[in-house]
A and B are shown apart, each in its own frame.
Chain A
Amino acid sequence: MSNPQQLRYSKEHEWLSPAQDGVATVGITEFAANALGDVVFAQLPEVGSTVAAGETCGELESTKSVSDLYSPVAGEVTEINQDVVDDPSLVNSAPFEDGWLFRVRLTEEPADLMSADEYAAQNAG
């Protein structure tokens, strides 16, 4: 499994895209999706809500368990992926693409995020 080089990664297995006009996209990694198993329900943060780096902002339910969703950055949620709400299996089938979760207008520069290589090393360790 390969983690896209242009993304940055949190230790809780979220990815963050490069910001465009101050807005970045958030999802979970393929490693996380594989560990969860089939995702059956995604509770995403509300559009307009404020999220804080490293804090929970939603839930992902899989067959076996429910997992908290953490925001890798601070900001205001501008959009959620309604396709994932309707069909949560997109998180498994395309975690880095159609399975993105929400977009956030950054209020501060993200700290403590990893490169693809650093993230891969974390998971290998």
Chain B
Amino acid sequence: MSSSASRPPRRTALDALHRSLGATMTDFAGWDMPLRYGSERDEHLAVRTRAGLFDLSHMGEIAVTGPGAAALLNFALVGNIASVGVGRARYTMICRADGGILDDLIVYRLAETEYLVVANASNAQVVLDALTERAAGFDAEVRDDRDAYALLAVQGPASPGILQSLTDADLDGLKYYAGLPGTVAGVSALIARTGYTGEDGFELFVDPADAEKLWQALTEAGAAAGLIPCGLSCRDTLRLEAGMPLYGHELTTSLTPFDAGLGRVVKFDKEGDFVGREALERAAERAAQNPPRTLVGLVAEGRRVPRAGYQVVAGGEVVGEVTSGAPSPTLGKPIAMAYVDAAHAAPGAEGVGVDIRGSHEPYEVVALPFYKRQK
């Protein structure tokens, strides 16, 4: 680790509670976070079949407010943020002038002139600095709100019923990627229908002073439905099965959104210039004519697990690199995401393997995601 290693890890408002639950803790982006409470496989399956409760307070919240907030975000980010309706959210990215991805983000429009930008914990400072710098000349304020929120997530098919038992908010009317202010178990919350698990679910932004009360209320309300506390380990396998990218793995500054197969988040037709436009136009052209490596799914035929950084091989040549890999609790097999040369990236491509510590293990190339919930 870099600079964060010299400082003691930050602790969330729920730290004592995690310890009382016997959580195995881990350092994540400078935060001491629950890795798992019991078996990460059980936690994963609880989210797929019932419900899981997560502390995600390490995520980085940044408020962007003022008459020029929409214009600033349209300039600073690659998406059309001005077109997001009040009460809706958008998955987007912030890029450098050369098109490299600084972070992927969810932006909530809380009011006409008020947005909440949620960055990855590991990039929150970078995003805050970039937004602050790019705000010059705009009638908007960029505010570090990392300490203003605890973030709890309840995810899984039972989550709407559990949450509805604690709130009068109209959850049926709350669509995927929407957010509304409300009260949950007597606690003021921004209730968002978002997540990173591939399941239906909610993320609740609350005052850190209310976090423990809300956690306990959700735990009690969810007990009968089989809700259990869940750590970051299963969050990683859940998002991997759902084919969702993780910054530092599938997304880095050396890749553009087009390289990552996520060119759809870049909106060239929006009003005004934006940081990275020229480089991204070239990247879009390159991706259309002569695609570089493509992000694919790999499913193991054997039981050895591919890990980030392992080489993808075909015919004795290196044709790609694994970015994330894990045993999939849902599929019962090891799975991975990997960037693979276009010639070997088609689903069912012959003779593709992964070099697992010197032995070439056969893998099936599949389209992402590995798992899609039944709606």
Interface residues of A (CB under 8 A from B): 34, 37-38, 40-41, 43, 61, 63-66, 89, 92
Contacts and interface: CB of A to CB of B under 8 A. Distances in A.
A64 B24 CA distance: 13
Given A63-B326, A63-B327, A92-B39, A40 B303 contact: yes
B305 A40 contact: yes
A37 B305 contact: no
Chain B interface main SS type: mixed
Contact of B237 (A61, A63, A65, A89): A63
A41 B40 contact: no
Contacts of B327: 38, 40-41, 61, 63
A40 B303 CA distance: 8
| Residue among B35, B36, B327 with max Cβ neighbours from chain A (10 Å) | B327
A99 B41 CA distance: 18
Given A34-B24, A37-B36, A61 B41 contact: no
B307 interface: yes
Given A37-B233, A61-B327, A66 B39 contact: no
A43 B334 CA distance: 15
A24 B303 CA distance: 28
Nearest to A34: B24
Contacts of B40: 37-38, 63
Contacts of B175: none
Interface residues of B, number: 16
Contact of A66 (B41, B237, B307): B307
B352 to A, nearest CB: 20
Contact of B303 (A41, A63, A64, A65): A41
Contacts of B307: 65-66
26 contacts: A34-B24, A37-B36, A37-B39, A37-B40, A38-B41, A40-B327, A41-B303, A41-B304, A41-B305, A41-B327, A43-B304, A61-B303, A61-B304, A61-B305, A61-B327, A63-B41, A63-B233, A63-B237, A63-B327, A64-B233, A64-B326, A65-B307, A66-B305, A66-B307, A66-B357, A89-B41
A112 B47 CA distance: 45
Contacts of B334: 40
